[in-house]
Structure 1
């Protein structure tokens, strides 16, 4: 059984249809990636899953339960956490305080200290800057905070929306390496990413979104080798 399943999900912004009958699944332990051009519906899909946007039709199942109308905060309690596009770091709060914001739904406070150590092991740079204000960090460091904050909720499904956007090349490679490490530690990942080559090389399965619809699906390796995907997203004619 899939951990996450979208069935014929349609979403509108006013009268504009942003998603049209999108169906996909994510099995426990997978990295699944969505690629596509700007405006294809990738971020809309993530917002629908996290409960920020209501569905016009269709349904979303998580661990076999229908969460289509469940409030966003209750989806976090169920185990769905998102590191949003643009990072969303609280600039006046320290790194540690930003990370603590990921714990607000947790009742097992005795395990929080261990999760801080896990995040600091994944992101040693954050350990060095734990008392530094979030607004003074570089873009790459803020992305680490955003991912770390989501991990502090102990998600079963981690939603990553454009984690490499605006980052220097040295940070991009590091972020993707950490995504693989997070997955190997047992967290299921749904990744939206414009860096299609990196995303597909890390994904078990992948989907291509165009104008709100899935037009191509396969393993990461299959889409990396697909001539139309190469031409459109990898810069290879």
Structure 2
């Protein structure tokens, strides 16, 4: 397994945000975490990125224990995140934001290839390359956040709520691009409230409720599960 999460427990002060969370991400797959607001999805992603301290459990990446590694060391190993809320640098241009995604790298020729890859995935960004990121639409900013994460050339990219706040047409476009990213060889761990779209693309999926994984299976299995349909899919996919 490329990424393994074992018995993960994380607190916010005295409040237990996630407890005994265990799952794995096989190389080349799309794994999704679904659940209601406050279920612990974003906390899980921040912990994997190194932004939250672990109270118990461990995180393994390609056989290496990274539980207490700082975020930038995780990026060097091949783990990068497009965060909830996008987190772009509004006062920087699109190009400068993308360069920030590659800040741990020094392989200029390969960085240029990855820049070309991002431009091919997101032609809109090429049109906006010199524009300040803060002046772009929400959809364009989401494209930029994902592109910035890809500039680190991750082996696993963590995508936290990539469709949040987007129009339906853009949501479909973002999910199509996520599929393409995976088909190009990048493993994807996806947190998403749009459960129907996420489950359609997931090889494996997990349902988080109040900080615990309560159900796991293939994306198709969970999409067909009556309790999942009722809770997250409006009774239908």
Same fold (TM over 0.5): yes
Query: How many angstroms apart in 1 are the aligned matches of 2:209 and 2:141?
Result: 29
Question: Deviations 1:167-207 (Å, cap 9, x if unpaired)?
Answer: 01111000000000000000000000000000000000000
Q: Identify unmatched segments of 5+ residues in structure 2.
A: none
d(CA) in 2 for partners of 1:66 and 1:107? 25
Equivalent position of 1:185 in the other structure: 184
Stretch deviating more after TM superposition (178-187 or 99-108): 99-108
Shift of 1:115: 1.2
CA distance in 2, matches of 1:147, 1:14: 31
Please show how residues 204-215 of structure 1 align to structure 2 within 5 Å. Answer: 204-215=203-214
Partner of 2:25 in structure 1? 26
The alignment status of 1:230 with 2:229, answered yes or no, reads yes
For 1:144 and 1:49, the matched residues in 2 are separated by: 22
Q: Normalised by the size of structure 2, how large is the TM-score? A: 0.99
User: Are 1:107 and 2:114 an aligned pair?
Assistant: no
Per-residue deviation, 1:4: 0.3
CA distance in 2, matches of 1:109, 1:14: 43
Q: Equivalents in 1 of 2:6, 2:80: separation in Å? A: 20
Residue 9 of structure 1 pairs with residue 8 of structure 2:
yes
The residue aligned with 2:71 is 72
Deviation at 1:89, TM superposition (A): 1.0
Instruction: Please give the per-residue CA displacement for 1:35-62, whole angstroms capped at 9, x wherever unaligned.
Output: 0000000000001101000100001100
Gaps of 5+ in 1: none
CA distance in 2: counterparts of 1:65 and 1:37, whole angstroms: 31
Which stretches of structure 1, 4 residues or more, deviate above 4 A after TM superposition?
none
User: Secondary structure of 1:121's partner?
Assistant: helix
Counterpart of 1:43 in structure 2 is: 42
Per the TM alignment, residue 107 of structure 1 is displaced from its structure 2 partner at its CA by 2.1
1:113 offset after TM fit, Å? 1.4
The separation in 2 between residues aligned to 1:121 and 1:71, in whole angstroms, is 31
Aligned equivalents of 1:212 and 1:174: distance in 2? 30
Q: CA deviation at 1:108?
A: 1.0
For the residue of structure 2 that corresponds to 1:5, the secondary structure is strand
Q: Secondary structure at the match of 1:181?
A: helix
Q: Distance in 2 between matches of 1:224 and 1:136?
A: 37
Map of 1:218 onto structure 2? 217
- 1:56-75 Cα offsets, whole Å, 9 max, x none, are 00011000011111111100
Aligned length: 236
Q: 1:111: how far off?
A: 1.4
Pairwise CA RMSD of aligned residues?
0.7
